[in-house]
């Protein structure tokens, strides 16, 4: 983790909107900003 900052609603604590800058941290979004769930959309058949 290189940098962490609160973007909006700091009064909400951990529920605030955070920007986290990382390096060498492979990841992907499981639930996007529209509420879509990656795993529910997978067709496992």
Spatial neighbors of 13 by CB under 8 A, at least 6 apart, are none
Tokens of 18: 């955070």
pLDDT of residue 39: 79
Q: How many domains does the structure of the chain reveal?
A: 1
**Which residues span the domain enclosing 24?**
3-41
- What integer best gives the mean pLDDT of the chain? 87
Q: Is the pLDDT of residue 41 over 60?
A: yes
CB 1 within 8 A of CB 15: no
d(C-alpha 38, C-alpha 13), whole Å: 26
Instruction: Quote the pLDDT of residue 18.
Output: 95
């Amino acid at each position: 983790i290189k940098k962490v900052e609160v973007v909006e609603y700091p009064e909400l604590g951990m529920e605030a909107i955070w920007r986290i800058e990382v390096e060498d941290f492979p990841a992907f979004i499981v639930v996007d900003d529209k509420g879509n769930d990656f795993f529910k959309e997978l067709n496992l058949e």
